Chain A
Amino acid sequence: MEPEAVIFQLVLGVASAMLYWIVSSGLTFTFGVTRVLNFAHGAFYMLGAYFTLTFFDLIQNYIASLFIAAAFVALIGAGCERALISRIYGLPVPFQLILTFGLVLIFDDLVKMIWGPVPRMMPTQFVGSINFLGRQLPIFSLYLIFAGITIAVVMYFLLSKTDWGMEIRAITADPETAMCSGLNPAYLYATAFMFGSFLAGLGGGLYVPISSAAPGMGEHIIIYAFIVTVIGGLGSIKGAFISALIIGIIESLGALFVPWMTIALPYIALASVLILKPEGIFGEK
Chain B
Amino acid sequence: MAEEISRRDFLKYTAALGAGLIIGGGVGYSLRKPEVQIIKEEKPTEVGEKLKDKIKIGHIAIFSGPFSTYGELQKRGSLLAVEEINKAGGILGSKVEIVFRDSAAKPAEAVKQVRSLVESEGCDFIIGIDSSGVVLAVAEVMPEVNKLLFVTHAATHRLTEELVYKRGIKEVFRLTVPVYQDGILAAFIAAQLPATRWAGVHPDYEYGYASWELFQKTLSKLRPDVEFVGEAWAKIGTTDFTPLISSIMEKKPDGIHTVEWGFDLFTFVRQAKQAGLFDAVKYDGGYAWINPMGYSTDAMETLGTEYPEGCWVSGRYVWMYPNTPLNRKFVKAHLERWGHYPAYSGEASYTAVYLIKKLIEMTKSLDIDEHIKTLENSTIYSPAGVRFIRKEDHQAIYEVPYGQIKHDPNYEIPVLTNLKTVPAEEYFRHPPFEELPPYKELYKKVLSKV
Instruction: Identify the A interface with B (CB < 8 A).
Output: 1, 5, 8-9, 12-13, 15-16, 19-20, 105, 108-109, 112, 117-121, 124, 126-129, 135-136, 138-141, 144, 207, 210-212, 214-217, 219-221, 223-224, 251-252, 255-256, 259-260, 262-263
Given A139-B274, A212-B270, A217-B66, 19 other A-B residues pairs in contact with their CB atoms under 8 A:
A5-B250, A16-B240, A19-B239, A118-B297, A119-B302, A121-B306, A124-B306, A135-B246, A138-B242, A210-B267, A210-B270, A210-B271, A214-B66, A214-B69, A216-B65, A217-B237, A224-B239, A259-B247, A262-B204
Q: What's the least CB distance linking A213 to chain B, in Å?
A: 9
B242 surroundings in chain A (CB, below 8 A): 12, 15-16, 138, 141
Beta-carbon contact of B243 and A252 below 8 Å: yes
Cα A259 to Cα B229 in complex, Å, equals: 12
State which residues 270-317 of B face A: CB under 8 Å.
Answer: 270-271, 274-276, 297-298, 301-304, 306
A136 surroundings in chain B (CB, below 8 A): 275-276
Residue of A nearest to B303 (CB): A121
Beta-carbon contact of A259 and B230 below 8 Å: yes
Beta-carbon contact of A216 and B274 below 8 Å: no
Cα A256 to Cα B69 in complex, Å, equals: 33
Beta-carbon contact of B275 and A117 below 8 Å: no
CB of B67 closer than 8 Å to a CB of A: yes
A-B contact pairs, 8 of them (CB 8 A): A1-B250, A13-B243, A16-B242, A118-B298, A121-B302, A144-B240, A214-B66, A216-B68
Beta-carbon contact of A259 and B274 below 8 Å: no
A219 surroundings in chain B (CB, below 8 A): 65-66, 237
Cα A109 to Cα B102 in complex, Å, equals: 13
Beta-carbon contact of B274 and A263 below 8 Å: no
B276 surroundings in chain A (CB, below 8 A): 129, 136
Beta-carbon contact of B239 and A215 below 8 Å: no
Residue of B nearest to A105 (CB): B64
Beta-carbon contact of B274 and A211 below 8 Å: no
Beta-carbon contact of A212 and B274 below 8 Å: no
Beta-carbon contact of A118 and B301 below 8 Å: yes
Q: When each residue 256-267 of chain B gets 1 if its CB lies under 8 Å from chain A and 0 otherwise, what string results?
A: 000000110011
CB of B249 closer than 8 Å to a CB of A: yes
Cα A263 to Cα B238 in complex, Å, equals: 10
Q: What's the least CB distance linking B335 to chain A, in Å?
A: 15
**What is the predominant secondary structure among interface residues of chain B facing chain A?**
helix
Most chain B CB neighbours (cut-off 10 Å) among A220, A223, A260: A220
Beta-carbon contact of A9 and B64 below 8 Å: no
Q: What's the least CB distance linking A7 to chain B, in Å?
A: 11
Cα A20 to Cα B266 in complex, Å, equals: 19
Cα A15 to Cα B275 in complex, Å, equals: 13
Cα A212 to Cα B297 in complex, Å, equals: 15
Known pairs A135-B249, A140-B274; A15 contacts B68 (CB<8 A): no
CB of B244 closer than 8 Å to a CB of A: yes
Beta-carbon contact of A12 and B263 below 8 Å: no
Beta-carbon contact of B66 and A138 below 8 Å: no
Q: What's the least CB distance linking B86 to chain A, in Å?
A: 24
A117 surroundings in chain B (CB, below 8 A): 68-69, 71-73
Beta-carbon contact of A259 and B231 below 8 Å: yes
Residue of B nearest to A203 (CB): B239
CB of B235 closer than 8 Å to a CB of A: yes
Beta-carbon contact of A119 and B65 below 8 Å: no
Beta-carbon contact of B266 and A262 below 8 Å: no
CB of B118 closer than 8 Å to a CB of A: no
A108 surroundings in chain B (CB, below 8 A): 64-65, 68
Cα A224 to Cα B239 in complex, Å, equals: 10
Q: What's the least CB distance linking B271 to chain A, in Å?
A: 6
A259 surroundings in chain B (CB, below 8 A): 230-233, 247
Q: What's the least CB distance linking A147 to chain B, in Å?
A: 13
Beta-carbon contact of B267 and A211 below 8 Å: yes
CB of B236 closer than 8 Å to a CB of A: yes
Beta-carbon contact of A263 and B204 below 8 Å: yes
A112 surroundings in chain B (CB, below 8 A): 68, 72
Q: When each residue 53-85 of chain B gets 1 if its CB lies under 8 Å from chain A and 0 otherwise, what string results?
A: 000000000001111110111000000000000
Smallest CB-CB A-B distances: 8 pairs = A220-B237, A117-B72, A252-B243, A216-B66, A16-B240, A138-B274, A211-B267, A136-B276
B301 surroundings in chain A (CB, below 8 A): 118
Cα A139 to Cα B273 in complex, Å, equals: 12
Cα A108 to Cα B232 in complex, Å, equals: 30
Cα A210 to Cα B243 in complex, Å, equals: 14
Q: What's the least CB distance linking B236 to chain A, in Å?
A: 7
Q: What's the least CB distance linking B102 to chain A, in Å?
A: 10
Q: What's the least CB distance linking B257 to chain A, in Å?
A: 15
Q: What's the least CB distance linking A118 to chain B, in Å?
A: 5
Cα A260 to Cα B340 in complex, Å, equals: 38
Q: What's the least CB distance linking A114 to chain B, in Å?
A: 14
Beta-carbon contact of B275 and A138 below 8 Å: yes
Beta-carbon contact of B65 and A16 below 8 Å: no
A128 surroundings in chain B (CB, below 8 A): 274
Q: What's the least CB distance linking B438 to chain A, in Å?
A: 31
Q: What's the least CB distance linking B403 to chain A, in Å?
A: 21
Beta-carbon contact of B275 and A221 below 8 Å: no
Beta-carbon contact of A120 and B302 below 8 Å: yes
Beta-carbon contact of B263 and A129 below 8 Å: no
State which residues 192-249 of B face A: CB under 8 Å.
Answer: 204, 230-233, 235-237, 239-240, 242-244, 246-247, 249
Q: Which of A118, A124, A214 contacts B274 (CB 8 A)?
A: A124
B72 surroundings in chain A (CB, below 8 A): 112, 117-118
Cα A65 to Cα B306 in complex, Å, equals: 22
B68 surroundings in chain A (CB, below 8 A): 108, 112, 117, 215-216
Cα A64 to Cα B233 in complex, Å, equals: 36
Cα A242 to Cα B232 in complex, Å, equals: 26
Cα A139 to Cα B51 in complex, Å, equals: 65
Cα A128 to Cα B278 in complex, Å, equals: 12
